[in-house]
Structure 1
Amino acid sequence: MKRLTDPQEIMEKSKKYNLHSWSAQKKLSPKVITRAEGIYFWDGDGKRYYDMSSQLVNMNIGHGNKKVIAAIQEQAEKLPFISPACAIDVRSQVAEMIIDVAPDNMGKVFFTLAGAEANENAIKIAKMVTGRHKIFSRYRSYHGATYGAANLTGEPRRYTCEPGIPGFIKFFDPYIYQAPIRFENEEAATAYYLARLREQILYEGRDQIAAIVLESVTGSNGGIIPPKGYMQGVRDLCTEFGIMMVCDEVMAGWGRTGEWFAIDNYHVQPDMITFAKGITCGYVPLGGVIVSREIADHFDENVLYCGLTYSGHPMGCAAGIATLGVYKELNLIARAKERGVLLGNILEDLREKHPCVGEVRYIGLFSAIELVKDRATHEPIVPYGSDPHKIMPRILGMLMARGFSTYTHENCIMIAPPLIITEKELKDAMAIMDEVLTEVDAMI
């Protein structure tokens, strides 16, 4: 069958036959993309864009990596699919490679296709191991759009799945910038939020809670970085009450924060880590749950009631092996930390320069710019869960018009470029952000 080549025809057929995520369909005008390479992609008119969100914070190694493409091609010719019940070379090898870079207490991997499936299965595993039924997660979180993952999610994208599954409990994030209390320091904020979490655990029944699930660094809901001592405090609470600590690293994992996993920044060992995105950087789907040796041992004698047709898909595993090789060959974990220092300096300069910037948050190449109407009161540029005048889409459009591609959520602009970005590329792209923020200053 002849492939479509005309950009206008591609766009029209997309609108006619595709349902596009998170959108009312009638007014959509999807951008037609024809190719991508490195940190760039091009539209049907030949316009080039900096991919400053790594698409959906998954293209960590950038676009068009030849080694990963070759691994997929080779696997497609050798063995494109075999049942998850079988042992095959790539499935065994990538699992070993994942355990080698995971925290020291980790023992085995259960593979999925994506992050939502990973979180779904982590919930099931926590319930099976503990015999408990309640699951804690935070309000400013996103864990996926499948039914269980949506119930785990705290932000407004969960609403369409409510009333939801019994036993899903929300608690407040240590979101210091928008807290109703002005804390003296990070340690004071940590003490406050951990005390509230402990209180909630007691009210909900200390022997009823199977897991506390939290993004090691909150992703799309504002790039919220845990204050000093917070993650260790959550670990201590989980240990005290026999609760599984599950770190969602779907977005923050695989070098994004300058460590293999974001939780490594805090020297904490969770019971489970969920992952996807950067394990294959979107070249083909792969996700999974990394479980501790203690959990792995539990299933030596107890049935693991988890299963997916495409668990550990051979082509995904082959891509994962190649991708992990690229991380190591290009030293991308260390490069993310190094480039993150430059990005942090640029973001701090933007905060000083632009009244519309309330706070910037960054760790490695994972960052957010929080936009406000008033720095003194921290009033967001748009109310939480509402943007009636479409201010954030307007700002996004201003960036796109200049060739800067990213996404926004609530009142935050996400900045998370591929880890391969050079200093010059980072400076040039962020100069565009500087221009647009000048226009936003005028808007407020």
Structure 2
Amino acid sequence: MTGPRQEELLHREAAHLAPGASEESALGRRVFVEGRGAVLTDLDGNQYIDLAAGTLTQSLGHCPPEVVAALTEQAARLWNVHDSATPDRAALCELLARLLPEELDTYAFFSTGAEVVEAALRAVQAVAEPGRNRIGALRHGFHGKTQGARMLVHWDIGNQAHAGNSVLGYSPYCYRCPLDLEYPSCEVRCAGLVRRHIAEKPNVSALVFEPVLGAAGVIVPPPGYWERIADTCRDNGVLLVADEVLTGGGRTGTFLACERFGIEPDLVTLSKGLASGFPFAVLAGRSSVLRHPRAAAAGSTASTYANNPLGIAAARATLEVVARDTLIARVRTLGALMDERLAELRSRFPVLGDVRGLGLLHGLEFVRDPATREPAPELARAVYLAALDLGLRTSVGGHVIRLAPPFTIDRTLLEEGLTLLGRALEQATEAHR
């Protein structure tokens, strides 16, 4: 339960703070004051194992010493000189070149995930051939809250419709197949429809996609889905723009989730964990796109906080630790442990309709009845709150709870967190009988 000091502070800020916080924040009503590694402390002194890693951002855990040192040193020297060169920028470029596939050799730096997605859209629109005035995206996708990102997925607000020129294809949501088919007998029909309606259309310039759909509940595609779509896009001159804001940097067990599926994108957007949760984003791309004369006009990759020295310092320090400590291999090892433990929980609790994930990114989908698969957001919320009261933080949204522990979490602490999740499931399901 929320303690008295937290309640008092929340009451004070409620007099002035606009509503509209995330579901997890509004439900949890916690005031966090400190984070160290995979553990958070609230204003009343309660501690929590953070299996949500901030907002799925803290690849190295909270306040990693190398990143704290880099930010502190940079903050004492220089904060912002627009997009002028600084000593760390060249080093960060060279580090990215070692970590990313070799064809992604050109970079632009921004401040948020939505901003870098918008930058990718500008690049696509700049280099698109005449007549290719539409962009493909996937149903259930999420690319940010700015207007351009919203238009990709036809996300209307209020009475305002901003569908734009995007064409939507079916995402690989096997648990809730929109075509009422079953894998593998379906022969990945959803991919075939994406090929027909997007990849083979002469007026489509690019397909913007999440390799694993994160905000939708960690939807992991089955074998064959991306192989068919990516090849057809390449054959038909449709650029592949991978939104790896959430997955990029090692979260799924490879530096890019695209590598897990054999996708060779033309552009990639990265943010969240790339700089340990510090506001920073990278647009990585092929030189044929980002160095194209129409994409390289003055100001095309500049904005007020783009290229800021603090973000560059945080990203460089984060990625140096990821490389030095071979953390991506550790993600695969700990991810296998999570697969095993979460499979056990699914077998024990019928309300867990589906459990899916890659590496250290998993989604738990709650249902009222495993036969009807009716979503159960009230159960997801109950489990989330029960876990908080037990000392475990997760990420809830609708009828799905997401788990994304730091890469550096101790194995014993991860096991303890998953045990607490099991206890939370027991408490919540008993209360809802």
TM-score by length of 2: 0.91
Which residue number corresponds to residue 267 of structure 1? 262
Q: What amino acid is the match of 2:391?
A: G
Are the structure 2 counterparts of residues 95 and 153 from structure 1 closer, same or farther at C-alpha, using a change threshold of 3 Å?
farther
How far does the alpha carbon of each residue in 1:221-278 deviate from its partner, in whole angstroms, 9 at most, with x for none? Answer: 1111111122222211211221111111111111111111111112221011101011
Q: Does 1:414 align with 2:402?
A: yes
- Contact 1:251–1:278, Cα closer than 8 Å, also in 2: yes
Number of the residue aligned with 2:122? 124
Are residues 1:437 and 2:432 paired?
no
Describe the shift of the 1:340–1:301 C-alpha distance in structure 2 as closer, same or farther (beyond 3 A). Answer: closer
**Cα-to-partner distance string for 1:309-347 (whole Å, 9 max, x where unaligned):** 111111110111111111122221111100000000001
Q: CA 1:151/1:124 → structure 2, altered by over 3 Å: closer, same or farther?
A: same
Query: Aligned-pair distance for 1:111?
Result: 0.9
CA distance in 2, matches of 1:323, 1:143: 23
Shift of 1:22: 4.0
- Write the distance in 1 (CA, Å) between the matches of 2:270 and 2:295: 26
Structure 2 contact 133–205 (Cα < 8 Å) conserved:
yes
The verdict on how the C-alpha distance between 1:335 and 1:231 changes in structure 2, with shifts beyond 3 A counting, is same
- Residues 397-424 of structure 1: CA deviation (Å, up to 9, x unaligned): 1121111111222321111111111221
Equivalent residue pairs, number: 423
Which residues in structure 2 correspond to 1:70-81 (within 5 Å)?
70-81=69-80
CA gap of 1:424–1:252, structure 2 versus 1, over 3 A, is same
Equivalent position SS for 1:145: coil
CA distance in 1 between counterparts of 2:68 and 2:225 reads 40
Q: What do the CA deviations read for 1:22-64 (whole angstroms, capped 9, x no partner)?
A: 469xx88842111111101111111101111112110110012
Partners of 2:139 and 2:62 in 1: CA distance: 33
Q: Evaluate the alpha carbon distance shift between residue 243 and residue 82 of structure 1 in structure 2; reply closer, same or farther with a 3 A threshold.
A: same
Match of 1:39 in 2: 38
Q: Aligned to 1:198, which of 195, 201, 204?
A: 195
The CA deviation string for residues 355-405 of structure 1, in whole angstroms up to 9 with x for no partner, is 1111110210100111112222333224xxxxxxx4433332112111111
Match for residue 3 of structure 1? none
CA contact (8 A) 1:174 1:190 kept: no
Q: Which residue of 2 aligns with 1:316?
A: 311
The 8 Å contact of residues 116 and 149 in structure 1, kept in 2 or not, is answered as: yes
Aligned with 2:275 (options 272, 275, 280): 280
Structure 2: how far apart are the matches of 1:201 and 1:36? 44
Q: 1:301 to 1:257 in 2, by over 3 A?
A: closer
Q: What is the aligned partner in structure 1 of residue 49 from structure 2?
A: 50
Identity %: 28
Which residue in 2 is equivalent to 1:176? 174
Distance (Å, rounded) in 2 between the aligned partners of 1:207 and 1:300: 21
Q: Deviations over 1:121-149 (max 9, x none)?
A: 11111111114321221121211111111
Within-5 A mapping of 1:246-261: 246-261=241-256
90, 104, 107: which is aligned to 2:105? 107
Does the CA contact (< 8 Å) of 1:258 and 1:337 recur in 2?
yes
Question: Structure 1's 44 and 378: CA in aligned 2 closer, same or farther, altered over 3 A?
Answer: same
Question: Hey, what does 2:287 align to over in structure 1?
Answer: 293
CA displacement at 1:302 relative to structure 2: 5.1
Match of 2:95 among 94, 97, 108: 97
Contact 2:368/2:376 (CA < 8 Å) preserved in 1? yes
* Aligned residue number for residue 323 of structure 2: 328
Contact 1:275–1:287 (CA<8 Å) still a contact in 2? yes
Change (3 A) 1:239 1:23: closer
Per the alignment, residue 133 of structure 1 pairs with: 133
The counterpart of 1:367, out of the listed 348, 358, 362, is 362
Q: Distance in 1 between matches of 2:276 and 2:13?
A: 24
Counterpart code for 1:430: L
**Matched residue of 2:356: which SS?**
strand
CA distance in 2, matches of 1:9, 1:123: 44
Unaligned runs of 5+ in 2: none
Q: Is the 8 A contact 1:174 1:189 kept in 2?
A: no
**1:103 positional shift:** 1.6
CA distance in 1, matches of 2:235, 2:187: 18
Query: 1:60: which partner in 2?
Result: 59
* Amino acid paired to 1:420: T
What is the distance in 1 between the residues matched to 2:379 and 2:426?
15
CA gap 1:162/1:174 in 2 versus in 1, 3 angstroms: farther
Distance 2:175 2:97 in 1: 36
Tell which deviates more after alignment, 370-379 or 167-176.
370-379
2:290 alignment partner AA = A
Equivalent position of 2:391 in the other structure: 403
Gap runs ≥5 in structure 1:
1-5, 383-389
**Residues 287 and 373 of structure 1, relative CA distance in 2, 3 Å threshold:** same
Change (3 A) 1:190 1:285: farther
Cα pair 2:379 2:429 within 8 Å, conserved: no
Residue 20 to residue 256, structure 1, CA distance change in 2 (3 Å): farther
State the match for 2:333 in structure 1: 338
Contact 1:373 1:381 in 2 (8 A): yes
